[in-house]
Amino acid sequence: MLAERFNGPPGSGNGGYVCGTLAALVGTGPVAVRLLRPPRLGVPHAVDRGRLLDGDAVVAEAAVCADDQPELPPAVLVADAEAASQRFAGYVRHPFPTCFGCGTDRADGLRIFPGPVAGTTSVAAPWRPGPTLAVAGQIPEPVVWAALDCPGGWAIAGSAVVVLGTMLGQTLRPVRPGDELVVSAAPTGAQGRRRYAVSAVRTTTGELVAWSRQTWIEVN
């Protein structure tokens, strides 16, 4: 069951959280996840051979992937990430203000507010995971994937509303409550209604913690 805390758009799961939930069950290494329909919250789900099931409906499917790590946005100094976050477009217009990852109306969310990094095509924000997110002293992988998710959307959205379609990612080292981190993302192209992005979580010294490559779908 996906807890109602971990929403993206109202009534459905945060895409990164759902992808990370499957990734944690599928195996180690890079995992590719495809979202097929909005994941409902607060209802029983089953997992079968890498598929997330809502009754007979396949919500998402995941598999270990041999793809190499993509070219990621360059490391961002924490001071620059803090400055970028002050320019977060969601302060002015936010399609999903209650989103667990980037919602401005969520005191109990991740509150990652990525804004444009001066002189680049990247967006970035600082992230310090709180203790209420921890399980056995670590931040669970689905939460790390949720942190990777929303910055990619803000990197490519512009004036459009986009939702996550696919996510390939990997967590390289444990994340713990109180870690000082920087999340960044950058656009990598577009085709029709599809937009592409990459994102990364790094320490303040630039060590890579987790990464993702994403496909987003523009919606009306």
pLDDT given at position 190? 94
Is the whole-model pTM more than 0.85?
Answer: yes
Instruction: Go through the domains of the chain in sequence order and give each one's CATH number.
Output: 4-219 (2.40.160.210)
Distance CA 124, CA 117 (A): 6
Q: For 106-151, what is each residue's pLDDT tens digit?
A: 999 999 999 999 999 999 999 999 999 999 999 999 999 999 999 9
Q: How many CA atoms lie within 13 A of 103 on its CB side?
A: 19
Length of the chain: 220
pLDDT given at position 157? 81
Confidence of residue 68 (pLDDT cuts 50, 70, 90): confident
Residues paired with residue 107 on neighbouring β-strands, in sequence order: none
Backbone φ and ψ for 166, nearest 5 degrees, come out as -140, 155
194's tokens: 């599809």
Distance CA 161, CA 157 (A): 6
What is the mean predicted confidence (pLDDT) over 173-194? 96
Is pLDDT at 101 greater than 80 in this prediction? yes
pLDDT given at position 160? 83
